């Protein structure tokens, strides 16, 4: 039994590593830009620092402020990517985000596509969260959370978003970890308006680590997140006319159009082993899964064993409860 378990884990890790090795070819074939070519500082004053001739940016969080940057253009669909190295050691309460949003233009009906990295106490791992909102549907919440097969604070890893009119795919080192297909029943809940790309580091003490139990400890500050290998390859949109200007270049051939058969096997393996939360299986929130959910029995069985109350629909004990931050960017469920 033990050998069988170790063997399956070994095969899983080897298959992931094989696909990661293949991703390096694709990464170099995509147009990588300098920071100044595509981004501008959003906030944080000197907590944003550029290195390597503008090819790498450090964002830091200290007692004074966090920091962040935003794309110079709005985009309607495309492939967006960055290599990120997260802060090490004690990072409880720290949130690093790499995401798309148009909240500054559409305050009450904004769209959003999120990667969020949730800090940790010593001995625990960083958690990665993905989420999407469409047309201000923040009350629904389409969160998923995962463990990773590596320590994201040890080295740079590539995090990518593919956004088209019909689907959204999240990638880690070219491995698709989540696919959201647009359905007619979703209506405006699928992101469909031009968005900017953002990266931020900020204090999420109220919710990010164990529902706010562990807060940012500034004796470990500054917390530094590093960003490099910037890819902004999409249809830029005029902010006034809202008309997309698509640049069809040869490099477009390197952008994925969907999940390949090999990647689908890898994605299923990742999801059935490393997913720790998915709204589609949360019986405490949704008695009936939202219409876009495609139920995978392996995922469902694993999550039900992981947390029978949340994913099995049983009664909740020991005072565990839902937690929602006041910020729309921090709407998660404590598990």
Lowest mean pLDDT among 239-243, 249-253, 301-305: 249-253
pLDDT of 242 reads 67
Q: Count CB atoms within 10 A of the CB of residue 260.
A: 12
Q: Yes or no: say if 289 and 278 are a contact pair by the CB < 8 Å rule.
A: no
Give yes or no for residue 208 having a pLDDT over 80.
yes
Lowest mean pLDDT among 128-142, 170-184, 187-201, 319-333: 319-333
Give the SS3 label for residue 69.
Answer: strand
Residues marked as catalytic: 112, 116
CA 318 to chain centre: 30
pLDDT of 210 reads 86
Average pLDDT over residues 35-62: 96
- What's the token pair of residue 270? 């990742």
pLDDT (tens digit per residue) in 141-189: 799 999 999 999 999 999 999 999 999 999 999 999 999 999 998 888 9
pLDDT band, residue 254 (cuts 50/70/90): low
Predicted structure pTM score: 0.84
Please list, in sequence order, all residues whose beta carbon lies within 8 angstroms of the beta carbon of residue 75, skipping any fewer than 6 positions away: 100, 194, 195, 196, 197, 232, 234, 235, 236, 237
Q: Enumerate domains of the chain plus CATH numbers.
A: 38-241 (2.60.120.200)
Which of the two residues, 28 and 234, has the higher pLDDT score?
234
């Amino acid at each position: 039994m033990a050998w069988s378990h170790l063997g399956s884990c070994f095969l899983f890790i080897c298959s992931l590593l094989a696909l990661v090795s293949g991703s390096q070819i694709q990464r170099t074939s995509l147009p990588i830009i300098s920071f100044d070519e595509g981004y501008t500082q959003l906030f944080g004053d000197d907590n944003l620092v550029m290195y390597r001739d503008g090819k790498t940016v450090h964002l830091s969080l200290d007692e004074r402020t966090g920091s962040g940057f935003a794309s110079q253009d709005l985009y309607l669909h495309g492939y967006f990517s960055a290599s990120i190295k997260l802060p090490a050691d004690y990072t409880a309460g720290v949130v690093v985000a790499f995401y798309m949003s148009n909240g500054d233009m559409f305050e009450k009906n904004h769209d959003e596509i999120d990667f969020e990295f949730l800090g940790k106490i010593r001995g625990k791992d960083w958690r990665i969260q993905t989420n999407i909102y469409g047309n201000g549907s923040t009350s629904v919440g389409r969160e998923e959370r995962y463990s990773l097969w590596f320590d994201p604070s040890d080295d740079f890893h590539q995090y990518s978003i593919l956004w088209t009119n019909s689907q959204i795919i999240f990638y880690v080192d070219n491995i698709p970890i989540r696919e959201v297909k647009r359905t007619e029943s979703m209506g405006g809940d699928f992101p469909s308006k031009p968005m900017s790309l953002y990266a931020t580091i900020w204090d999420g003490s109220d919710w990010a680590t164990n529902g706010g139990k562990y807060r940012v400890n500034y004796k470990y500050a500054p917390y530094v997140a590093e960003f490099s290998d910037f890819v902004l390859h999409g249809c830029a949109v005029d902010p006034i006319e809202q008309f997309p200007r698509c640049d069809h270049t040869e490099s477009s051939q390197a952008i994925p159009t969907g999940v390949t058969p090999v990647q689908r096997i890898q994605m299923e393996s990742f999801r059935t082993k490393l997913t720790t939360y998915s709204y589609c299986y949360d019986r405490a929130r949704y008695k009936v899964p939202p219409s876009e959910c495609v139920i995978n029995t392996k995922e469902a069985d694993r999550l039900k064993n992981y947390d029978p109350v949340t994913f099995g629909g049983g009664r909740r004990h020991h005072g565990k409860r839902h937690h929602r931050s006041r910020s729309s960017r921090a709407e998660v469920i404590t598990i």
